[in-house]
Every structure is written in C-alpha cells, then in structure tokens.
C-alpha cells in the first residue's frame, strides 16, 4: 500500500486524531455560537438540520451553474453564503436507488436495494437504525420526513419509518403536480400545488402555535398518529423530499386557480433561449446493441416541440424550488432558527434532455449523474463561505457529513465520508475517483458501471439479452462488457468523443479497466 492509498484509507475510515481535535474545536465553537445566539433556548445546543432533496434536478439547472433562463436567486445566495460542491455526483442515478444510498450511506453494489419494484429489496432494519434521521433522533432530535418516498424501509408498509419519525408525512412514488389528487394523505393541504403544499406541511411541523391546527385535525385517519408537531425544546432534523422537477410531476402545472401564477406564465417569452442539445434528434452516440432511442419509455422520447415544453415546465419547477428556499429562510429568520440551522440542498439524479439522443436518467453520462450540492452552515466562519469545492463527492457523503456537523459519530456501516473537513476549507486527502453504476434493468436501459476520475471517465455497458427486469448486482459470472467509452471530461465535458478505441489512450483505458474492477470489488465488500 502506498502513502496515497494509506491516506485515503485513513480518510475513508474513522477520523484520525487531527480530525477529532478539529471536530472538538468545531463543536466547542458551535455550542458557544448557539449559546450566544439563543441564550433563551438553553436546551437547543445542537444545530438543526434541513436536508432538501430535489428530484431529477440537473447540475446546470441553476442561474449560478449557467442556466440561461431559470432564475434561482435564493439557491445562488444560499451557495454564496455556504459551500458549493461543483463536482457532486449520484452513484446510482435513478430515484429509488439514489435515495436508498442516502438512507444507508452505501453504494448500491453494497446495499443491494436497487429499484425496489425490480430488486424486491428494502432498506434493512440495521441500515434504517443507522440512517442520519435515526441517529439524530437517538441524540435527542425531533425528526421529520416529508414529501416523496421512493424506497421501502424494512417492509412494504415502511413500519419503522412511521413508528420512529416524529412527523412522517409522505407519499410513495410520484406525487404529481397536485398531490392531493394522487394521494389521500395530502388532502389536508390548503395549497394544491406540490412544492407549496410540501412547504405548508413543513411549516405545520416547524412553526409553534395553533395556526396549523387544521392540518392536524384534517389529517387522514391513517396518518394522524404519525404527525407530531416539533418539540421546541429539542433540536430538529427534517428531510424534505420534493418530487419536482421530475417529469411525472409537471403535468397539470399551473392549471388550478390556486397555483402560483409563475407556473403558467413565467418564461413563456423565453422559449427560444432554452438550450437544445447539439444535433438533436439525430445525435445518438451509442451502438444499437447498447440502446436505441425507441427502446426508451415514451415519455422520454421527446420531439423537438415536447422537449421545449418539458424544458419550459422544468424551468418553472426549478423557479418554484428556488421560491421554496427563499420562503424557508424567511421562516427560519421569523422563528429565530436561522442562526443554528444547517441547510443542505441536493438532487437525487439529473436527467438527459435529448443529449446523446436519449432521455431520462440511469445512463452514467454527466447530465444524469452530476447534480448541485449546497451545504450551508451558519456556524461556518465568514471567510470560509462562498467557496466552491472541486473534490469529487457523492450522495453517500451527505449522511456522514450531517452527523459529523452535529457532533455525532459516523456509523461504521457508512461507505460515504464526512465532507466537513472540505467545508471547513482544510487540505485533506480525498478520493480521486468515484464508482458509478446503473443496475436498473427496466424501461430498456442497459446495466452499466463507470469510474469518474478528476479528468477521465470510463463507462462499460452490459448486454440486455439476459437481464430484462432482473436485478443482477453481481453481474452474470464471467460477463464482459459489450461496449466501452472513455472521455476526457476536461476538453470534452459533453462526452461526445469516445477515446476507447483511440490507440493514443490505450494505457489510460487499460488503467481504468483495472480501476473499475478494483472499485466494484472494494465497494461490494
Ligand atoms: Ca429522481
């Protein structure tokens, strides 16, 4: 083992001594800051946590990441006052598996949860007990889980989630733009549009007093027992899951009189400014044995007109998410919670909008795996704010980071690492590449795995001949990929020039083949 590997091992494993000392100092600062800011609320000495998870929201969906139409002043401000990770990835780019990876802190190859309808595998009792919500609950937190839920917890009814989380208000699968029309549990909401309804539910949990008594009184009988308002003597942790900007929630957008007007009017005059992929629709870059345009689900086979419309609706949805963040920060200020509440914003995956001749996610191209990640902490020194970090980080790092920021131990079952040293601006040994995978075999997409390095990306594709609707986390014994790609993401960020057959890159390719096998084995154990 060389020194770099040893450093990485130290980083991936338990914290070393200097990190522990730094953590103790951080905690001392944090406790002092809380005591000063909230001397009247003596019991609240730990930071509150809000984890906002968007759905299918791409990296380039924000103003700050270059979207030419969508305005995101509140998200941009949050990033400007916090830390923005510009190389954040999801390693299983599809809703259920990506969320399962956050619940477990593990890669899919390890937790084997997959897309539950195909794999039939659920988050285990141990993994749920170790998830950040439960770890914080055991540390005395009030906990909330709100919005979309897309992976099963222990059993078909998610029993431990309902029994343990103080405010458990969710719908399984897709919620639609108007959730009350799809799920009876949302019928107590006054706001019929999804993002605003989820905000209303969070406010009912967070804001003390009787203003939201109707919410609890009118709650569906099946969930009345799982809705406890925040105990103001405790710190809180809320995991808020939006089902936007997912395509399944765009239908009916802005069609009800109560929907905010921007959902039906904003950017209507900007259609020509919405970016279209180069060469679309004749821009498929993969051979037919890997995938064809026709093999994708119909709703991701965009015509030029439907693609523009989807992009317009997405821009409005992201604007709505931005409004959510603005309203959230105003509410925290009103409740005097702004100076001790950490806010993390992430997306469960991106989406292909016609790039590579494809739509949807599950592909391991950047549009699908690269997502925005904002970590805002009021405890961070002013000179550490507004920083953009370039390290390769993943969704599995978020639970470890949240626990570390709250001064709790990171469970040994986690494979992700705490990003706190990066957030604090330290120079730490960090991973140089990440393992990506798609094991979802429904909807015509191929199994793939990949290594994303700091410069190159290697993707290998497997045959669909024998895998339809089977869950094969180990692959078929002796299986070789049927196609490979190698991209230099520095000069070819849109992954258009496959270097796998270019003899000049033979040694790079060979190195990545080996590394992909190494990482697959390492992550499985
Ligand atoms: Ca998703």
CA of 5 to the centre of ligand 1 (A): 33
55 with 201, same domain: the answer is yes
Q: Could you give the count of Cα atoms lying within 13 Å of 56 in the half-sphere of its Cβ?
A: 27
CA of 177 to the centre of ligand 1 (A): 15
CA of 74 to the centre of ligand 1 (A): 22
Q: What is the CATH number of the domain that holds 481?
A: 3.30.1120
CA of 468 to the centre of ligand 1 (A): 21
Task: List the structure tokens of 517.
Answer: 């096998």
Q: What is the CATH number of the domain that holds 423?
A: 3.40.720.10
> Which residues on adjacent β-strands are paired with residue 180?
none
CA of 106 to the centre of ligand 1 (A): 18
What residues contact residue 285 under an 8 Å CB cut-off, 6+ apart?
356, 357, 495, 496, 498
Per-residue pLDDT of the chain (525 residues; tens, 9 = 90+): 433 343 343 343 334 445 555 555 555 555 554 444 443 343 347 999 999 999 999 999 999 999 999 999 999 999 999 999 999 999 999 999 999 999 999 999 999 999 988 999 999 999 999 999 999 999 999 999 999 999 999 999 999 999 999 999 999 999 999 999 999 999 999 999 999 999 999 999 999 999 999 999 999 999 999 999 999 999 999 999 999 999 999 999 999 999 999 999 999 999 999 999 988 888 999 999 999 988 888 888 888 889 999 999 999 999 999 999 999 999 999 999 999 999 999 999 999 999 999 999 999 999 999 999 999 999 999 999 999 999 999 999 999 999 999 999 999 999 999 999 999 998 899 999 999 999 999 888 999 999 999 999 999 999 999 888 899 998 777 789 999 999 999 999 999 999 999 999 999 999 999 999 999 999 998
Return the DSSP state at 219. S
What's the rounded Cα separation, in Å, for the pair 71 and 351?
19
User: How high is the pLDDT of residue 30?
Assistant: 53
Task: List the structure tokens of 478.
Answer: 């002796």
Contact criterion met (CB below 8 Å) for 229 and 193 = no
CA of 310 to the centre of ligand 1 (A): 15
CA of 372 to the centre of ligand 1 (A): 13
410 with 445, same domain: the answer is no
Element (H, E) at 52: strand 48-54
Task: List the structure tokens of 156.
Answer: 């078909």
CA of 149 to the centre of ligand 1 (A): 11
Within a 10 A sphere around the Cβ of 272, how many other Cβ atoms?
A: 8
CA of 248 to the centre of ligand 1 (A): 10
CA of 489 to the centre of ligand 1 (A): 24
CA of 182 to the centre of ligand 1 (A): 18
What's the rounded Cα separation, in Å, for the pair 463 and 77?
45
The alpha carbon dihedral of 299, 301, 306, 307 has a sign of positive
429 with 451, same domain: the answer is no
Give the residue from 409, 435, 461 where a domain finishes.
435
CA of 21 to the centre of ligand 1 (A): 38
Strands 236-241 and 48-54, bridge-based pairing: parallel
CA of 335 to the centre of ligand 1 (A): 31
CA of 95 to the centre of ligand 1 (A): 4
CA of 349 to the centre of ligand 1 (A): 5
Return the DSSP state at 50. E
CA of 144 to the centre of ligand 1 (A): 20
Contact criterion met (CB below 8 Å) for 177 and 249 = yes
What's the rounded Cα separation, in Å, for the pair 302 and 274?
15
345 with 486, same domain: the answer is no
In the chain, how many domains are there?
2
User: How high is the pLDDT of residue 384?
Assistant: 96
Range(s) of the domain holding residue 339? 3-435
520 with 412, same domain: the answer is no
DSSP-H helix ranges across 38-174? 73-81, 95-104, 108-111, 116-119, 125-130, 132-138, 159-164
Contact criterion met (CB below 8 Å) for 375 and 422 = no
What's the rounded Cα separation, in Å, for the pair 281 and 304?
8
CA of 23 to the centre of ligand 1 (A): 33
CA of 264 to the centre of ligand 1 (A): 23
492 with 509, same domain: the answer is yes
What's the rounded Cα separation, in Å, for the pair 144 and 53?
13
350 with 464, same domain: the answer is no
User: How high is the pLDDT of residue 477?
Assistant: 73
Contact criterion met (CB below 8 Å) for 122 and 113 = yes
Closest by Cα among 254, 186, 244, 172 to 220: 186
Return the DSSP state at 153. B
CA of 228 to the centre of ligand 1 (A): 28
What's the rounded Cα separation, in Å, for the pair 230 and 166?
8
Give the residue from 435, 466, 498 where a domain finishes.
435
422 with 440, same domain: the answer is no
Give the residue from 435, 455, 473 where a domain finishes.
435
CA of 150 to the centre of ligand 1 (A): 9
What residues contact residue 209 under an 8 Å CB cut-off, 6+ apart?
none
Q: Could you give the count of Cα atoms lying within 13 Å of 371 in the half-sphere of its Cβ?
A: 30
CA of 361 to the centre of ligand 1 (A): 8
85 with 187, same domain: the answer is yes
CA of 358 to the centre of ligand 1 (A): 16
User: How high is the pLDDT of residue 26?
Assistant: 56
pLDDT digits (tens, 9 = 90+) for 400-429: 999 999 999 999 999 999 999 999 998 899
CA of 254 to the centre of ligand 1 (A): 21
Is the peptide bond prior to 245 cis by the omega test (within 30 degrees of 0)?
yes
362 with 451, same domain: the answer is no
284 with 417, same domain: the answer is yes
Strands 341-347 and 370-376, bridge-based pairing: antiparallel
407 with 443, same domain: the answer is no
CA of 242 to the centre of ligand 1 (A): 10
pLDDT digits (tens, 9 = 90+) for 195-218: 999 999 999 999 999 999 999 999
CA of 52 to the centre of ligand 1 (A): 13
Contact criterion met (CB below 8 Å) for 514 and 433 = no
User: How high is the pLDDT of residue 229?
Assistant: 98
């Amino acid at each position: 083992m060389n020194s770099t590997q040893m450093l990485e091992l130290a980083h991936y494993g338990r914290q070393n001594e200097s990190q522990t000392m730094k953590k103790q100092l951080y905690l001392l600062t944090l406790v002092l800051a809380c005591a000063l800011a909230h001397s009247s609320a003596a019991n609240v000495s730990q930071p509150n946590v809000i984890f906002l998870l968007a759905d299918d929201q791409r990296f380039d969906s924000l103003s700050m990441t270059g979207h030419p139409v969508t305005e995101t002043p509140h998200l941009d401000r949050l990033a400007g006052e916090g830390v923005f990770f510009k190389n954040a990835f999801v390693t299983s780019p599809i809703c259920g598996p990506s969320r399962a990876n956050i619940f477990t802190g593990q890669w899919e190859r390890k937790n084997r949860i997959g897309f539950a309808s195909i794999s039939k595998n659920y988050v285990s009792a141990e993994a749920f007990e170790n998830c950040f919500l439960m770890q914080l609950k055991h540390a005395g937190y009030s906990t909330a889980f709100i919005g979309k839920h897309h992976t099963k917890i222990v059993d078909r009814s998610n029993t431990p989630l309902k029994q343990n989380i103080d405010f458990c208000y969710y719908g399984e699968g897709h919620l639609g733009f108007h959730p009350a029309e799809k799920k009876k549990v949302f019928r107590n909401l006054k706001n019929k549009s999804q993002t605003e309804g989820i905000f209303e539910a969070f406010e009912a949990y967070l804001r003390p007093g009787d203003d939201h008594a109707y919410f609890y009184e009118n709650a569906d009988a099946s969930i009345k027992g799982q809705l406890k308002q925040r105990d103001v003597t405790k710190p809180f942790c809320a995991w808020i899951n939006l089902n936007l900007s997912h395509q399944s929630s765009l239908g009916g957008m802005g069609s009800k009189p109560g929907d905010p007007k921007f959902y039906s009017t904003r950017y209507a005059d900007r259609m020509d400014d919405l970016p279209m992929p180069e060469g679309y629709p004749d821009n498929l870059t993969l051979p037919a044995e890997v995938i064809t345009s026709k093999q994708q689900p119909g709703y991701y086979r965009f015509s030029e007109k439907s693609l523009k419309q989807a992009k317009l609706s997405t821009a409005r949805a992201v604007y709505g998410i931005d409004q959510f963040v603005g309203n959230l920060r105003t509410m925290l200020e009103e409740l005097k919670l702004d100076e001790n509440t950490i806010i993390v914003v992430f997306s469960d995956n991106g989406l292909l909008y016609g790039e590579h001749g494809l739509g949807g996610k599950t592909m391991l191209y950047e549009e699908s795996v690269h997502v925005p990640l904002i970590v805002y902490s009021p405890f961070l020194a002013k000179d550490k704010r507004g920083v953009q970090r370039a390290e390769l980080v993943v969704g599995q790092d978020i639970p470890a980071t949240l626990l570390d920021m709250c001064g709790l131990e990171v469970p040994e079952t986690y494979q992700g690492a705490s990003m706190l040293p990066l957030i604090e601006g330290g120079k730490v040994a960090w991973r140089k590449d990440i393992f990506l995978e798609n094991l979802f075999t429904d909807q015509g997409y191929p199994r793939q795995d990949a290594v994303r390095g700091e410069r190159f990306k290697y993707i290998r594709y497997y045959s669909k001949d024998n895998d339809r609707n089977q869950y094969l986390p180990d692959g078929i014994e002796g299986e070789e990929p049927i196609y490979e790609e190698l991209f230099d993401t520095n000069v070819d960020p849109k992954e258009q020039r496959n270097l796998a057959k270019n003899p000049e890159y033979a040694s790079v390719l060979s190195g990545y083949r080996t590394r992909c096998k190494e990482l697959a084995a390492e992550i499985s154990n």
